[in-house]
């Protein structure tokens, strides 16, 4: 009933004997990887495999959602739905003991093998409802990371989500917390064109899951109703961005995003998505109107006492020596401060370097109008971090955006000139902050403060290079900022096009050195594991044009010739992209009828062209004229190539029986062609259709 893998114990006492859900062969692949590779090698495996499941289950960024939580070795943790162990490792490193519950034996084996060195992990394999009665009742943390939405499957019944929480509450120690990470039913990405994460359908969550399904996400208010139904009075909401799966930034009600911050929105690793609007610009308006808690893509709800941390930003997709975490916290006295922590042992030197950089930058810019946010290095045994005051002001990037939004180009240029003057003070000094970008400078009236100088180098760097990089990064974050023309910036800085290209190359090399030649998450999306981004707004004009092209136009001649005014369109004649089918009645006074099967070049196969059920002899010159070239018949059906944007069949009814009122029935197969392709094909054919002439059948 138990199995030992390394130091990890698996308990099969409640295992039903088979895995009731499975992702197939990918789980076998994951098991092989964790058996053969170390965690430090997962990055290379992710880049090699270019696979969403491999990225999803093995990326170290999955841990970010709980890494910031101040657990201690005195804490006991219950992880429900532990799966392949994406967060089990960080829980084991932080807490005293971790008890996992998961329905899948295969996934639990993956979890056990990847964390086999952890002596504080036990995995119960089985349905939570069966395992739950045997669990202790003194957990300090219960984690539901991507699990609460499956409450119906865990519990069943009429109120599965409330029942789920009520059962979990029984197992909390006094002062304990339940952590719920879940997608927001009304997350902005779903309005913008992302498929719902669990069902893989567009807008199904927004529409309230009309077709049901195995999972259900909620709005913030929806979650709050469930909490209140369970008697939960104390809870806090946090907002993982871009979402909880690969969180890089965590906001809270105490620290919400500012305008311009939310530019990292294209992260459709798992499937294709539409892009119906610019999410960054939509977020800008949402942020300004205080609606971000409504439209955040994901939530992390903490049931129980809150935390002093109000903001967390991770930079852990870098090389180990540069992996850091930035945290904004509020102490009991209400003071807000910023701390930067190393995420790896190798990054401690990087943190220590910030304190020395602070002193050197202060010396350089003393008297120059650019203040340097003070840095205090804190060392407590083996722990080290850098502490900064929380500075007030508006990021220079946002100030420039405000100018561009109101088309105040002179104002934007004035700010840029101010930036160049301040950042270039004592250019000859042997210290420079390479990352003195606009978002790292706060403007509060006449006070400009540099708040982040992580990438300070002990050498002089030309002001024009620093300013070009700052503007280059500013443009990369938002294409709409291109209204401030690069050519003006180059002229202002005295930079040639070749120098600009050299600086761009230098920037790419710098980014590669920061990531240790590994791909960042942004690069993984671009180069490895990305779904297609579909742009319907770019297609709509072409679609409407194509739709307009796929119409049948009818002309009738009663002795006065054909006229556009007297013509009509048969809107429903295209039964599909290729199939044309219609039936029309012709008055006895109509002596000629012209059928235009499309509004563009095409291949046309005639399945039926009849009057009162009798075939129209399309190849008899006295009866019909066609401005296309006849192709070899297939299956007894005539086919024609039309290399014109105005194809037509012109039928002389006076040469056909019967007379009087008649019914014309037409069935065609149409394949639209580009004009140049149709003309080239036409030139290769020799035999014109009978009755064809330059203006045959036209009066």
In a domain, 695, yes or no: no
How much is the pLDDT for 50? 93
Supply the mean pLDDT for the chain: 93
Mean pLDDT of all residues in 285-311 = 97
Does residue 100 share a domain with residue 160?
yes
How much is the pLDDT for 537? 87
How much is the pLDDT for 686? 57
Does residue 547 share a domain with residue 521?
no
User: What are 433-448's pLDDT values in tens digits?
Assistant: 999 999 999 999 999 9
**DSSP secondary structure letter of residue 576:** S
Does residue 635 share a domain with residue 515?
no
| pLDDT of residue 690 exceeding 70 | no
Does residue 499 share a domain with residue 566?
no
In a domain, 239, yes or no: yes
Does residue 13 share a domain with residue 147?
yes
Q: What is the DSSP string of 169-209?
A: HTTEEEEEEEEEEEEBTT-HHHHHTPBPTTT--BSTTTTT-
Does residue 602 share a domain with residue 501?
no
Mean pLDDT of all residues in 173-186 = 98
Does residue 505 share a domain with residue 438?
yes
Mean pLDDT of all residues in 278-296 = 96
User: What are 356-406's pLDDT values in tens digits?
Assistant: 999 999 999 999 999 999 999 999 888 999 999 999 999 999 999 999 999
How far apart CA 46 and CA 63 sit, in angstroms, is 16
Q: How many domains does the chain have?
A: 3
How far apart CA 405 and CA 608 sit, in angstroms, is 60
What distances in angstroms separate CA 426 from CA 431, 432, 473, 568, one per listed residue? 10, 10, 23, 77
| pLDDT of residue 691 exceeding 70 | no
In a domain, 259, yes or no: no
Q: What is the DSSP string of 418-486?
A: HHHHHHTTTTTSS-EETT--GGGEEEETTEEEE---TTEESS---HHHHHHHHHHHHHHH-GGGGGS-H
Over its C-alpha atoms, the chain yields an Rg (Å, rounded) of 34
Q: What is the pTM of this model?
A: 0.84
Provide the CATH number for the domain around residue 133.
3.40.50.150
In a domain, 672, yes or no: yes
Asked whether the beta carbons of 279 and 192 are under 8 A apart, the reply is yes
- Domain span at 433: 397-527
Residue that wins the pLDDT comparison between 113 and 548 = 113
Does residue 38 share a domain with residue 90?
yes
How much is the pLDDT for 521? 87
In a domain, 698, yes or no: no
């Amino acid at each position: 009933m138990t199995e030992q893998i390394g130091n990890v114990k698996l308990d099969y006492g409640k295992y039903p004997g088979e895995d009731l859900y499975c992702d197939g062969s990918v789980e076998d692949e994951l098991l092989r990887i964790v058996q053969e590779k170390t965690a430090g090698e997962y990055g290379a495996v992710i880049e090699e495999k270019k696979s969403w499941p491999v990225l999803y289950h093995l990326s170290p960024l999955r841990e970010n959602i709980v890494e910031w939580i101040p657990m201690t070795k005195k804490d006991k943790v219950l992880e429900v739905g532990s799966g392949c162990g994406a967060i089990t490792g960080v829980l084991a490193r932080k807490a005293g003991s971790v008890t996992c519950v998961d329905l899948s034996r295969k996934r639990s084996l993956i979890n056990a093998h990847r964390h086999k060195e952890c002596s504080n992990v036990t995995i119960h394999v089985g349905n939570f409802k069966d395992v739950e009665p045997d669990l202790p009742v003194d957990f300090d943390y219960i984690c539901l990371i991507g699990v609460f939405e499956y409450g119906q499957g865990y519990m069943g019944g009429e109120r599965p989500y409330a029942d789920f929480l009520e059962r979990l509450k029984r197992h909390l120690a006094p002062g304990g917390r339940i952590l719920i990470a879940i997608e927001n039913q009304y997350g902005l990405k779903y309005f913008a064109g992302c498929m719902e994460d669990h069902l893989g359908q567009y807008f199904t969550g927004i529409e309230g899951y009309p077709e049901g399904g195995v999972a259900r996400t909620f709005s913030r208010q929806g979650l709050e109703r469930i909490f209140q139904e369970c008697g939960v009075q104390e809870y806090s909401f946090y907002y993982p961005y871009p979402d909880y799966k690969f969180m890089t930034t965590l906001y809270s009600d105490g620290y919400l995003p500012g305008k311009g911050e939310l530019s990292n929105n294209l992260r459709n690793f798992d499937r294709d998505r539409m892009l119906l609007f610019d999410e960054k610009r939509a977020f800008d308006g949402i942020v300004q109107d205080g609606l971000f808690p409504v439209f955040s893509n994901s939530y992390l709800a903490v049931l129980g006492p809150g935390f002093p941390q109000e903001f967390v930003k991770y930079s852990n997709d870098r090389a180990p020596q540069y992996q850091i975490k930035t945290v904004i916290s509020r102490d009991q006295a209400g003071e807000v401060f910023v701390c930067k922590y190393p995420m790896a042992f190798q990054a401690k030197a990087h943190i220590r370097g910030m304190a020395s950089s602070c002193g050197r930058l202060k010396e350089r810019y003393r008297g120059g109008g650019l203040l340097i946010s003070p840095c205090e290095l804190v060392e407590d045994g083996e722990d080290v971090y850098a502490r900064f005051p929380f500075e007030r002001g508006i990021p220079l990037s946002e100030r420039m955006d405000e100018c561009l939004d109101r088309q105040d180009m002179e104002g934007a240029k004035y700010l840029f000139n101010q930036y160049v003057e301040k950042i270039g003070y004592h250019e000859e000094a042997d210290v420079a902050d390479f990352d003195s970008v606009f978002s790292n400078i706060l403007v509060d009236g006449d006070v400009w403060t540099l708040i982040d100088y992580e990438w300070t180098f002990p050498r002089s760097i030309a002001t024009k290079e620093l300013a070009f990089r700052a503007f280059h990064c500013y443009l990369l974050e938002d294409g709409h900022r291109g209204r401030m023309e690069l050519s003006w910036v180059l002229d202002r800085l005295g930079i040639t096009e070749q120098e600009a290209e050299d600086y761009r190359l230098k920037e790419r090399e710098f980014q590669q050195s920061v990531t240790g030649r590994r791909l960042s998450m942004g690069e993984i999306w671009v180069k490895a594991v990305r779904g297609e981004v579909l742009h319907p707004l770019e297609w709509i004009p072409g679609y409407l044009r194509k739709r307009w092209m796929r119409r049948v136009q009818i002309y009738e001649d009663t002795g006065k010739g054909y006229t556009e005014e007297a013509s009509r369109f048969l809107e429903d004649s295209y039964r599909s992209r290729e199939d044309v089918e219609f039936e029309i009645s012709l008055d006895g006074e109509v002596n000629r009828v012209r059928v235009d099967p499309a509004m563009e070049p095409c291949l046309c196969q005639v399945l039926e062209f009849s009057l009162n059920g009798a075939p129209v002899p399309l190849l008899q010159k006295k009866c019909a004229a066609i401005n296309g070239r006849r192709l070899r018949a297939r299956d007894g059906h005539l086919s024609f190539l039309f290399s014109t944007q105005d194809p037509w069949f012109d039928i002389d009814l006076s040469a056909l029986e019967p007379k009087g009122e008649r019914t014309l029935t037409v069935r065609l197969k149409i394949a639209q062609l580009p004009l140049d392709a149709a003309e080239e094909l036409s030139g290769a054919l020799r035999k014109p259709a009978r009755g064809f002439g330059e203006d045959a059948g036209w009066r």
